[in-house]
Amino acid sequence: MDCTLGSPLQHRDQDYGQLRDACLKCKSLFEDPEFPAQRSSIGLPADTDPARALKWLRPKEINKNAKFIEGTASTNDICQGQLGDCWLLAALSCLTLHQPLFANVVPNDQELSEPYAGIFHFRFWQYGQWVDVVVDDRLPVQSGRLLFSYSRTQNEFWSALLEKAYAKLNGCYASLKGGNITEAMEDFTGGIARSLSVASRTPAVLWRALGSSLSRGTMLSCFIQAVNRAEVGMVTPEGLVRGHAYAITATDVVKDKKGEVCLLRLRNPWGFVEYCGPWSDNCKEWDEVDNAEKQRIALTRAEDGEFWIKADYFSSLFTTVEMCSLNPDALDDTPSSWRITSHQGAWVPGCSAGGSRKYRRTFWTNPQYRLVVSQLDHQDVADENDDDAEEQGGLEEDGEEAVAAVQTDRRTSSTVVVELLQKHCRQKDKINFMYIAFHIYRVPPELQDDPSSLKASFFSSNKPVSRSGKYQAQRGTRRKVRLPPGNYVIVASTFKPNIQGSFFVRIFAQAGNELESQGGVPCSSEFSSVVLANPIAPDDRSKVQVLFKQQAGLDNRLNAVQFNKLLNSGLEESLHLSLETCRGLIFGQDTGGTGTLSLAQTEQLVAAVNSLQAIFSQFDTDSSGTMSSFELSLALQAAGFLLDPPVLQQLWLRHGTADLLLSFDGFVACIGKLRKLFDLYESEGSLEVKEHGINTWLLRFIGV
């Protein structure tokens, strides 16, 4: 489903238009059952002081002159309340500077005047699609004041209602405590975010780059990196808060008696606590500037959270700039043509959650995505590796040099931007970001035509040509790199194996380059030629013939119960299979609708089970009677089944165990299910089914 801005996904199936019309028809105010006016929607402990009891009030109950938006939305409409969501509100301050982007998030057909139904809606980008979130306008109030976000004008409520909608999207208000501003920037725009180390440029170059970015609609923010948790929230002698997000809202030049001064305008989302160094609101430097100049830049010398700072001082005090633009050219003067490919994926324990490169036996099982670079850039692209802020504070995978040398001559390489976002880590009052990263490997020509060839040996003997950086416990990690022409594979992983989670990966590449999932080839089965073609051994034939006579019914055939007894009582102990698995094997045979086996069919199945036992033993390296689930795809390949990752993942979810081990019975059950599904597909006469292909068929029925 293509959920665009014009046709967004309805969050929790709530249709704003229908709900609003129903309320207007019955002359009632909307009360949202999906996000009720209760403590559960707050997610924080209740205040024990009765005088500070929480109330839920509508805007006109708080202020008789309540407006949704008074005039136009501005940064002064946003002040932080009793919630640590400065990252969200700083991004919201940036959003107000770009009216078209603001209108995408805040539909402009909403008012607190008649016709009024107490219902509002907002749109957010979520992992490749836009989502429309409905809320009622009951807001949490404590001691007569809004508990969370509020406007300095006191009678404006759009920011408080947007904050409520974003809290609903993420579970509750408490789920918004703490975050990275790039997360909110991307959710407001669907754009691509980047981190930039302030120290990577001279003050003059940085100032020019930020001004150019603002003019192209890029959202900008900054912060001072806290060395440890204790430093977060500490105020520096210059009045700046460590670990706190500030919005960058403008750059400009003013003239004093000494000449031109390059300035940046910042805003603290608290709405107070401002920079107090040179060029701050009340400093003497402004006395040397003409009033006309001060009026031109709209200088406001008030404690409103907004202040100007000289470019030199900015570079000496701040450590990181965060930016978000609709394409990767946030700092480049010449726009280029980008092609975007995205994939939804998952790390499934025991199947596709192989961990970092230090787990050499399982790293290859992580989701993989192919990239073919053939089209070169037609212009210089500057600063392709300026994301060094992302290297800080993460987990290193090993002590080795992690990236192989690769030629990156601008004339013979192309720009690629990769972003990996983990999904659904803000739920209710818990924020659980996993440590994630991605690696890019070059695929040699001899392996390019075989998508199943990139196994453990390939990754253990080759170094990546690039990576996202250290594993980061943040929602997203991204990297802009230059790659020479060739075939590459991108591997997305968590730091530790068997960590369950879902993710979204998108790849920006120059037009002409090709991107695809590693699992994009049709599944195939050679089971009949690999396993069923093996004849039964003479000794086993004699045993089977004797046991068949003992177990067969009057029709001289075996049903599932009798076949189960034959395997479990007369043959090797290791062939023990459950009755249900025996039924699956029988229904994989052509029994003419009887569900019973002839002697020849019994001999064939016993031979097949013996072959599967040999395959299973090959991967049961510790002779425990179980097979590591990471080896399931290799065992299935040995049995003649080549499966793409999504199919393998669904197969594991259907047959895998909680302890991430697979018994021989479970392995045979997988084989029986696959064999029957492949046979049914071959007999299917529908052209529509054939057009969709075997992969779609397997994904549809593998869970049945």
CA-to-CA distance for 247 and 96, rounded, in angstroms?
A: 11
How high is the pLDDT of residue 389?
43
| Most confident listed range (118-122, 283-287, 295-299) | 118-122
| Structure confidence at residue 203 (pLDDT) | 93
Long-range pairs for 546-552: beta carbons < 8 A, 24 or more residues apart = 546/570, 547/571, 548/599, 548/602, 552/599
* pLDDT bucket at 51, cuts 50 / 70 / 90: low
Is the confidence at residue 453, as pLDDT, over 70?
A: no
Range picked from 336-350, 603-617, 633-647 for highest mean pLDDT: 603-617
pLDDT above 70 covers a percentage of the chain that reads 89
Catalytic residue (choose from 23, 79, 86, 262): 86
Residue 191 predicted with pLDDT over 80? yes
- What pLDDT score does 388 carry? 42
CA separation for the pair 362, 366 (Å, rounded): 8
**Pairwise CA distance, residues 35 & 530, whole Å:** 56
Residue-wise pLDDT for 199-241, tens only, equals 989 999 999 999 988 888 888 999 998 877 777 778 899 999 9
For tokens 């229904």, name the residue: 587
> How many Cβ atoms are within 10 Å of 675's Cβ, its own excluded?
24
Question: Can you give the pLDDT at residue 635?
Answer: 85
In one letter, which amino acid is 163? E
User: What is the distance between the alpha carbons of residues 59 and 568, in angstroms, rounded to a whole number?
Assistant: 73
**Residues 169 and 204: beta-carbon distance below 8 Å:** no
Report the distance separating Cα 666 and Cα 662, nearest Å: 6
Token digits of residue 84: 């640590």
Query: What topology is assigned to 192-325 in CATH?
Result: Cathepsin B; Chain A (3.90.70)
- Name the range with the highest mean pLDDT among 29-38, 561-570, 667-676: 29-38
Q: How many whole angstroms separate alpha carbon 675 and alpha carbon 656?
A: 18
CATH superfamily of 524-701: EF-hand (1.10.238.10)
Of 170, 268, 366, 513, the active-site residue reads 268
> Catalytic: 462?
no
Whether the pLDDT of residue 400 is over 60: the answer is no
The DSSP call for residue 50 is G
**Distance between CA atoms of residues 639 and 635, nearest Å:** 6
Residue whose structure tokens are 């109030």: 141
State the burial class of residue 291 (Cβ atoms within 10 Å of its Cβ: 0-12, 13-18, 19+): exposed
pLDDT for 62: 94
Cα dihedral 506, 510, 516, 517, rounded to 10, equals -30
Nearest 5 degrees, angle CA 605-CA 606-CA 609?
A: 85
- The whole-number pLDDT of residue 390 equals 45
Neighbours of 468 (CB within 10 A): 25
- Non-local (6+) Cβ contacts of 555 within 8 A are 596
User: Which pairing describes strands 641-642 and 524-525: parallel, antiparallel, or unpaired?
Assistant: antiparallel
Q: Residue ranges of the domains in the chain?
A: 9-175, 192-325, 338-517, 524-701
Assign residue 176 a region (left: φ > 0; alpha: ψ between -120 and 50; beta: otherwise): alpha
Residue 242, helix vs strand vs coil:
coil
CB atoms under 10 Å from CB of 511, counted, come to 10
79 assigned to active site: no
Check pLDDT > 50 for residue 387: no
519 pLDDT tier (thresholds 50, 70, 90): low
Q: How far is CA 404 from the centre of its chain?
A: 27
Task: Find all residues with CB under 8 Å of 60, minimum gap 6, and list them.
Answer: 66, 112
The mean pLDDT value for 601-618 works out to 88
Query: Quick one: pLDDT at residue 65?
Result: 92
Q: What is the mean pLDDT of the chain?
A: 84
Catalytic residue among 11, 121, 244, 343: 244
Question: Average pLDDT in the 270-283 region?
Answer: 86
pLDDT of residue 392: 56
Q: Is the dihedral of CA 588, 594, 597, 599 positive or negative?
A: negative
Kindly tell me if the per-residue pLDDT of 329 is higher than 90.
no
User: Do 458 and 447 touch, CB atoms closer than 8 A?
Assistant: yes
pLDDT at 633 over 80: no
Best CA proximity match to 390, nearest among 473, 461, 501, 460 = 473
Residue 9 host element (H or E): strand 9-10
pLDDT score of 380: 45
Q: Binning pLDDT at 50, 70 and 90, where does residue 489 land?
A: very high
What percentage of the chain exceeds 90 in pLDDT?
A: 34
Question: Which pLDDT score is estimated for 386?
Answer: 42
Q: Look at the block and give the residue holding tokens 């039924």.
A: 583
pLDDT tens digits for range 533-566: 778 888 788 888 888 998 888 889 999 999 988 8
Helix/strand/coil percentages in the chain, nearest 5: 35, 25, 40
Write down the pLDDT at residue 384.
38
In CATH, what number does 338-517 get? 2.60.120.380
Taking 60 as the threshold, does the pLDDT of residue 16 lie above it? yes
Tokens of residue 462, six digits: 């080759």
How confident is residue 693, by pLDDT bands cut at 50, 70 and 90?
confident
**26 catalytic, yes or no?**
no
* Amino acid symbol at 12: R
pLDDT at 335: 45
Strand-pair category, 9-10 with 129-136: parallel
Q: Is the predicted pLDDT of residue 699 greater than 90, yes or no?
A: no
H-type alpha helices, 67-202: 86-95, 99-105, 158-169, 181-189
What confidence category does residue 294 fall into, taking pLDDT thresholds of 50, 70 and 90? Answer: confident
What is the reported pLDDT for 60? 94
